[in-house]
């Protein structure tokens, strides 16, 4: 592993230079990687591995023929590289368990009997193992239990792979039954196209992931945007002005500068008025939201969030309720204004 200084703290990471694709192929040459689930991470990871020369099959839970459509379009052939969850698990030597967290809890009794001595059970989220008392997912002691968790959606994992850049991922070994768990883990991380790999544990991965999703990455971002938009509208600003000042400038300009050069560079390259105000109000926002993040982390660590997720996502009417919540967001004035703003971007102009 390479030692890298992250903000004054030295960490060990694995790069493609130390663990090249050729080495990953050698480690995995006798393996059959069975990717269970073709929803979010499954398509990206399976396609990336296939294109990197790894022997991959896909397992999918199907109740009608339509569920095979996406896999068929991606070149998976029923009976050759596309199977039921159970048959894929039986055929694989590395079982990538990439169905949703709630689906893992529901399908585990059907998958567990197909695990063979020396297999590896792979996750991209620590959820089911870290909260095994709620999920019921307790692997047998004769399999490796490993994790590679890309720090992005399946869409990003695939897009970055195709662009040649990859996406960073964390990795962990929870159980080493074969003595090969670590090399298998790193090989899989490289094979799915990770930019670099950094170590974690199943527990730390899920604690940080659930906090991040509910916090800055999605929950806090949406909530803060809505709050600012509503304030601007309350004081008489038009929907177009409120949306542009809240969302469009962030996503189309400022966040790209942060991505490329860091927050300090972005601050240094905006107006002096913006600099001064942002530097002052940054502290106010941090103090205001710190208690919320503390409460959020405690809710994650206690298992409360897991309980909510498993109960909600296992309910028979989950999809109906989810569609209603997303429709409420989509049909709010703010996001209807957003749709109009996006339609006016130059790339969407009619030629």
- 10-residue mean pLDDT series, the chain (351 residues): 80 90 97 94 96 97 72 93 96 96 93 98 95 94 97 91 91 98 97 93 94 94 96 97 95 89 90 91 96 96 91 89 95 95 82 53
The CATH class of the 212-348 domain is mainly alpha
Q: According to CATH, where is 1.10.1040.10 located in the chain?
A: 212-348
Place of tokens 């527990």: 203
| Protein fold of 2-200 | Rossmann fold (3.40.50)
- Per-residue pLDDT at 87: 97
Q: Which helix (H) or strand (E) holds 108?
A: helix 101-111
Q: Count of alpha carbons within 13 Å of 266, Cβ hemisphere only?
A: 15
Report the predicted TM-score, pTM, of the whole model to 2 decimal places: 0.85
Q: According to CATH, where is 3.40.50.720 located in the chain?
A: 2-200
Q: Which residues pair with 13 in a beta bridge?
A: 2
Catalytic residues: 125
Of 221, 243, 247, give the one whose Cα is nearest residue 232. Answer: 243
Task: Return all residues near 60 (Cβ < 8 A) that are at least 6 apart.
Answer: 36, 37, 38, 67, 68, 71, 82, 83, 84, 85, 88
């Amino acid at each position: 592993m390479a030692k890298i200084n992250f903000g004054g703290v030295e960490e060990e990471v694995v790069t493609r230079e130390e663990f090249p694709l050729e080495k990953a192929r050698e480690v995995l040459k006798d393996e059959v990687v069975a990717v269970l689930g073709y929803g979010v991470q499954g398509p990206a990871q399976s396609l990336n591995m296939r294109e990197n020369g790894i022997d991959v099959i896909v397992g999918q839970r199907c109740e009608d023929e339509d569920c095979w459509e996406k896999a068929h379009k991606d070149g998976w052939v029923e009976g050759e590289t596309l199977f039921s969850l159970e048959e894929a698990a039986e055929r694989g030597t590395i079982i990538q368990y990439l169905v949703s967290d709630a689906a893992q809890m529901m399908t585990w009794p059907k998958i567990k009997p197909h695990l063979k001595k020396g297999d590896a059970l792979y996750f991209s989220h620590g959820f089911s193992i870290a909260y095994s008392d709620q999920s019921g997912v307790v692997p047998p002691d004769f399999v490796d239990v490993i994790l590679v968790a890309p720090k992005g959606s399946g869409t990003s994992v695939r897009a970055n792979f195709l662009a040649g850049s990859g996406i960073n991922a964390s990795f962990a070994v929870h159980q080493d039954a074969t003595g090969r768990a670590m090399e298998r883990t790193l090989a899989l991380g490289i094979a799915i196209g990770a930019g670099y790999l950094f170590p974690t544990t199943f527990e730390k991965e899920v604690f940080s992931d659930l906090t991040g999703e509910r916090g800055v990455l999605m929950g806090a971002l949406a909530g803060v945007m809505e709050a600012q938009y509503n304030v601007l509208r309350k004081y008489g600003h038009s929907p177009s002005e409120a949306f542009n000042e809240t969302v469009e400038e962030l996503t189309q300009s400022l966040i790209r500068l942060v991505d490329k050069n860091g927050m300090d560079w972005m601050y240094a390259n905006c107006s002096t008025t913006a600099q001064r105000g942002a530097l002052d109000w940054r502290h106010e926002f941090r103090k205001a939201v710190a208690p919320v993040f503390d409460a959020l982390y405690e809710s994650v660590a206690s298992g409360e969030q897991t309980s909510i997720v498993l109960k909600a996502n296992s309910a028979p009417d989950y999809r109906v309720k989810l569609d209603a919540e997303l429709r409420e967001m989509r049909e709010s004035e703010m996001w209807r204004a957003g749709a109009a703003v996006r339609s006016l971007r130059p790339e969407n102009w009619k030629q």
